[in-house]
Amino acid sequence: MSTHTNIDMTIKIGGAAGQGIQTIGNLLARACRDAGFYIMAINDFESRVRGGHSFFQMRISDKPVYAPHHRIDLLIALNRETWDLHKDQLQDDGIAILEVPLDSPSKQVFEVEFSTLAKEIGSSLYSNTVAAAVGLSILGASFDKIADLLSWQFAGKKEDIIQKNIKAARLGYDAVKDIQFSRQPFLKTSNPKGQIMEGSRAIALGAIASDCRVAAFYPMSPATSIMQHLAGWTNRLPLVVEQAEDEIAAVNMVIGASFAGARAMTATSGGGFCLMTEGLGLSAITETPIVIVDAQRPGPATGLPTRTAQGDLLFAIHASQDDFPRFVFAPGSLLEAFELTQKAFALSEKYQVPAIILVDQYMVDAIFLLEHSFTFSKKVERFTVGDKDLKDPKNYNRYELTPSGVSPRALPCTGAARVIVSSDEHREDGHITEDIDNRNAMVNKRKSKLPDMIREMSVPQALYPEAKIVLLGWGSTSGSIKESVEGLRNEGMDVGCLLFTDLWPFPTAIVESHLKDPVKIIITVEQNSGAQFGHLLKEQTGISCTHAILKYDGRPFYPIEIMDAVKEKEKH
Amino acid sequence: MSTHTNIDMTIKIGGAAGQGIQTIGNLLARACRDAGFYIMAINDFESRVRGGHSFFQMRISDKPVYAPHHRIDLLIALNRETWDLHKDQLQDDGIAILEVPLDSPSKQVFEVEFSTLAKEIGSSLYSNTVAAAVGLSILGASFDKIADLLSWQFAGKKEDIIQKNIKAARLGYDAVKDIQFSRQPFLKTSNPKGQIMEGSRAIALGAIASDCRVAAFYPMSPATSIMQHLAGWTNRLPLVVEQAEDEIAAVNMVIGASFAGARAMTATSGGGFCLMTEGLGLSAITETPIVIVDAQRPGPATGLPTRTAQGDLLFAIHASQDDFPRFVFAPGSLLEAFELTQKAFALSEKYQVPAIILVDQYMVDAIFLLEHSFTFSKKVERFTVGDKDLKDPKNYNRYELTPSGVSPRALPCTGAARVIVSSDEHREDGHITEDIDNRNAMVNKRKSKLPDMIREMSVPQALYPEAKIVLLGWGSTSGSIKESVEGLRNEGMDVGCLLFTDLWPFPTAIVESHLKDPVKIIITVEQNSGAQFGHLLKEQTGISCTHAILKYDGRPFYPIEIMDAVKEKEKH
Amino acid sequence: MLTPKDFNSDYQNQWCPGCGNFGILEAMKDALATQGIPPEKILIISGIGQAAKTPHFLNCNMFHSLHGRALPLALGAKLANHDLKIIVNSGDGDCYGEGGNHFIHAIRRNTDLTLLVHNNQVYGLTKGQASPTSGLGMTTALQPDGVISEPFNGPAVALSLGAGFVARGFSGNKEHLSSLIQKGMDHKGVSLIDIMQPCVSFNKINTFEWYKERVYETDNPEPDDLPQAMKLSMEWGDAIPIGIFYQTKKQDFTSRIKGLEKGPLIFRNYDPQEANSIFQGS
Amino acid sequence: MLTPKDFNSDYQNQWCPGCGNFGILEAMKDALATQGIPPEKILIISGIGQAAKTPHFLNCNMFHSLHGRALPLALGAKLANHDLKIIVNSGDGDCYGEGGNHFIHAIRRNTDLTLLVHNNQVYGLTKGQASPTSGLGMTTALQPDGVISEPFNGPAVALSLGAGFVARGFSGNKEHLSSLIQKGMDHKGVSLIDIMQPCVSFNKINTFEWYKERVYETDNPEPDDLPQAMKLSMEWGDAIPIGIFYQTKKQDFTSRIKGLEKGPLIFRNYDPQEANSIFQGS
Ligand SMILES: Cc1ncc(C[n+]2csc(CCOP(=O)(O)OP(=O)(O)O)c2C)c(N)n1
Ligand SMILES: Cc1ncc(C[n+]2csc(CCOP(=O)(O)OP(=O)(O)O)c2C)c(N)n1
Ligand code: SF4
Ligand code: SF4
Ligand SMILES: [Mg+2]
Ligand SMILES: [Mg+2]
Distance A231 CA to ligand 6 centre (A): 20
Of B284, B297, B315, the CB nearest to A301: B284
Q: Do C130 and B228 touch (CB under 8 A)?
A: no
DSSP string covering A201-222, please? HHHHHHHHHTTEEEEEE---TT
Q: Do A18 and D16 touch (CB under 8 A)?
A: yes
Spatial distance between the Cα atoms of C20 and C203, rounded to a whole number of angstroms: 11
Tell me if D69 CB under 6 Å of ligand 2.
Answer: no
Rounded CA Rg of chain A: 26
Tell me which residue of B224, B222, B241 sits closest to B232, measured CA to CA.
Answer: B241
| Closest Cα to atom 1 of ligand 2 | A272
Non-local CB neighbours of A462 within 8 Å, separated by 6+ positions: A496, A497, A498, A499, A514
Residue B543 identity: I
Non-local CB neighbours of A37 within 8 Å, separated by 6+ positions: A7, A60, A61, A62, A185, A193
Burial status of residue B466 (CB atoms within 10 A of its CB: 0-12, 13-18, 19 or more): exposed
Q: Do A321 and B296 touch (CB under 8 A)?
A: yes
Q: Which residues of A369-393 are buried (b: 16+ CB within 10 A; e: fewer)?
A: bbeeebebeeebeeeebeeeebeeb
SS3 content of chain B, % helix, strand, coil (to 5): 40, 20, 40
Element holding B177 (H helix, E strand): none
Of B50, B227, B246, the CB nearest to C142: B227
Burial status of residue A136 (CB atoms within 10 A of its CB: 0-12, 13-18, 19 or more): buried
Range with the lowest mean pLDDT among A105-114, B292-301, B372-381, C30-39? A105-114
Q: Do A539 and B539 touch (CB under 8 A)?
A: yes
Band of pLDDT at residue C195, cut at 50, 70 and 90: very high
Which pairing describes strands C165-170 and C190-196: parallel, antiparallel, or unpaired?
A: parallel
Tell me the average pLDDT across C257-271.
96
Spatial distance between the Cα atoms of B484 and B494, rounded to a whole number of angstroms: 12
DSSP string covering chain C, please? ---GGGGB-SSPP-SPTT-THHHHHHHHHHHHHHHT--GGGEEEEE-SSTGGGGGGGB-SEEEE--TT-HHHHHHHHHHH-TT-EEEEEEEHHIIIIITHHHHHHHHHHT-SEEEEEEE-SSBTTTTSB--TTPPTT---SS-TT---SPPP-HHHHHHHTT-SEEEEEETT-HHHHHHHHHHHHHSSSEEEEEEE---TTT-SSS-HHHHHHHEEE---SSTT-HHHHHHHHH--SS-EEEEEEEE-----HHHH-GGGTTS-GGGSPP-HHHHHHHHHH-
Instruction: Express as a percent the part of chain B with pLDDT over 70.
Output: 99
Residues 206-265 on D with a CB inside 8 Å of C are: 227, 230-231, 253, 256-259
Q: Tell me the whole-structure pTM to 2 decimals.
A: 0.98
| Cβ–Cβ < 8 Å for D157, C154 | no
pLDDT tens, position by position, B76-102: 999 999 999 999 999 999 999 999 888
| Cβ–Cβ < 8 Å for B332, B501 | yes
| Cβ–Cβ < 8 Å for A97, A79 | no
| Cβ–Cβ < 8 Å for D115, D182 | no
Residues 375-394 on A with a CB inside 8 Å of D are: none
Q: Is the CB of A248 inside 8 Å of chain C's CB atoms?
A: yes
| Cβ–Cβ < 8 Å for B322, A311 | yes
Tell me if A250 CB under 6 Å of ligand 2.
Answer: no
**Cα dihedral B439/B443/B446/B450 (nearest 10):** -160
Element holding B15 (H helix, E strand): strand B8-17
Q: Do B261 and D76 touch (CB under 8 A)?
A: no
Band of pLDDT at residue B516, cut at 50, 70 and 90: confident
The DSSP bridge partners found for residue B454 are none
- D102 contact residues in B (CB cutoff 8 A): 245, 248-249
Q: Which chain A residue's Cα is nearest to B324?
A: A300
Burial status of residue B552 (CB atoms within 10 A of its CB: 0-12, 13-18, 19 or more): buried
Tell me which residue of D109, A423, A196, A40 sits closest to B303, measured CA to CA.
Answer: A423
Element holding B377 (H helix, E strand): none
Tell me which residue of B206, B537, B534 sits closest to B355, measured CA to CA.
Answer: B206
pLDDT tens, position by position, B221-231: 999 999 999 99
Spatial distance between the Cα atoms of C275 and A375, rounded to a whole number of angstroms: 10
Chains that touch C (3 or more CB pairs under 8 A): A, B, D
> How does DSSP classify residue B557?
P
**Chain C closest CA to B513's CA: distance in Å?**
45
- C94 contact residues in D (CB cutoff 8 A): none
Non-local CB neighbours of B451 within 8 Å, separated by 6+ positions: none
| Cβ–Cβ < 8 Å for C105, A243 | no
CB hemisphere CA count around B316 (13 angstroms): 31
- B241 contact residues in C (CB cutoff 8 A): 142
| Cβ–Cβ < 8 Å for C109, C75 | yes
pLDDT tens, position by position, B166-199: 999 999 999 999 998 988 899 888 999 999 999 9
Distance B243 CA to ligand 3 centre (A): 20
Max CA distance (Å), chain B? 86
- A232 contact residues in D (CB cutoff 8 A): 141, 144
Q: Which chain B residue's Cα is nearest to A447?
A: B529
Task: Please provide the average confidence, as pLDDT, over all residues in chain D.
Answer: 97
Non-local CB neighbours of A69 within 8 Å, separated by 6+ positions: A8, A10, A59, A558, A559
Non-local CB neighbours of A51 within 8 Å, separated by 6+ positions: A16, A17, A18, D14, D16, D17
Spatial distance between the Cα atoms of B111 and A41, rounded to a whole number of angstroms: 84
Tell me the average pLDDT across B278-304.
98
**Cα dihedral D178/D184/D186/D190 (nearest 10):** -160
Instruction: Give all strands (DSSP E) within A257-403, no chain letters.
Output: 263-268, 290-296, 327-329, 354-360, 367-370
DSSP string covering A493-510, please? --EEEEEESEEES--HHH
* Residues of chain D that touch chain A, judged by Cβ-Cβ distance less than 8 Å: 14-17, 48, 50, 66-68, 97-98, 100, 123-127, 129-130, 132, 141-145, 201-202
Tell me if D199 CB under 6 Å of ligand 4.
Answer: yes
Tell me the average pLDDT across D164-179.
98
Residue B461 clears pLDDT 90, i.e. is over it:
yes
pLDDT of residue A553: 98
Tell me if D200 CB under 6 Å of ligand 4.
Answer: yes
Q: Which chain D residue's Cα is nearest to C95?
A: D101
**Cα dihedral A137/A141/A142/A145 (nearest 10):** -110
Non-local CB neighbours of B209 within 8 Å, separated by 6+ positions: B338, B341, B342, B374, B376, B377, B380, D272, D275
Element holding B536 (H helix, E strand): helix B532-541
- D268 contact residues in B (CB cutoff 8 A): 238
Spatial distance between the Cα atoms of C226 and C246, rounded to a whole number of angstroms: 7
pLDDT of residue A502: 98
pLDDT tens, position by position, B48-82: 999 899 999 999 999 999 999 999 999 999 999 99
Max CA distance (Å), chain D? 70
Residue B2 clears pLDDT 50, i.e. is over it:
no
Query: CA–CA distance from A294 to each of A223, A304, A337, A361 (Å)?
Result: 7, 15, 13, 10
Instruction: Output the CA angle C66-C93-D108, nearest 5 degrees.
Output: 130
| Cβ–Cβ < 8 Å for B306, B222 | yes
Cβ neighbours of A180 (radius 10 Å): 7
Query: CA–CA distance from B287 to each of B30, B179, D71 (Å)?
Result: 45, 65, 19
Task: State yes or no: ipTM above 0.95.
Answer: yes
Residue C139 clears pLDDT 80, i.e. is over it:
yes
pLDDT of residue D245: 98
Residue C28 clears pLDDT 70, i.e. is over it:
yes
| Closest Cα to atom 8 of ligand 3 | C19
- C71 contact residues in A (CB cutoff 8 A): 249
Taking the alpha carbons of B424, B430, B436, B440 in that order, is the dihedral positive or negative?
negative
Residues having C-beta closer than 5 Å to ion ligand 5:
C 91-92, 120, 124
Tell me if D21 CB under 6 Å of ligand 4.
Answer: yes
Ligand nearest to the CA of residue C202, numbered in listed order: 3
Tell me which residue of A426, A422, A444 sits closest to A435, measured CA to CA.
Answer: A426
Residue B511 clears pLDDT 70, i.e. is over it:
yes
Alpha-helical segments (H) within B373-427: none
DSSP string covering D181-215, please? HHHHHHSSSEEEEEEE---TTT-SSS-HHHHHHHE
Instruction: Express as a percent the part of chain C with pLDDT over 90.
Output: 99
Q: pLDDT averaged over consecutive 10-residue blocks of chain A (572 residues)?
A: 69 92 93 96 93 95 96 95 94 93 86 94 92 95 94 91 94 93 89 97 98 98 98 97 98 98 98 98 98 98 98 98 98 98 98 98 97 96 96 97 98 98 98 98 98 96 95 98 98 97 94 82 97 97 95 98 95 76
Band of pLDDT at residue B5, cut at 50, 70 and 90: low
pLDDT of residue B103: 83
Write the secondary structure of B178-216 as one string of H (helix), E (strand) and C (coil).
Answer: CCCCCCCHHHCCCCCCCEEEEHHHHHHHHHHHCCEEEEE
pLDDT of residue A319: 98
DSSP string covering B472-520, please? EEEGGGHHHHHHHHHHHHHTT--EEEEEESEEES--HHHHHHHH--TT-
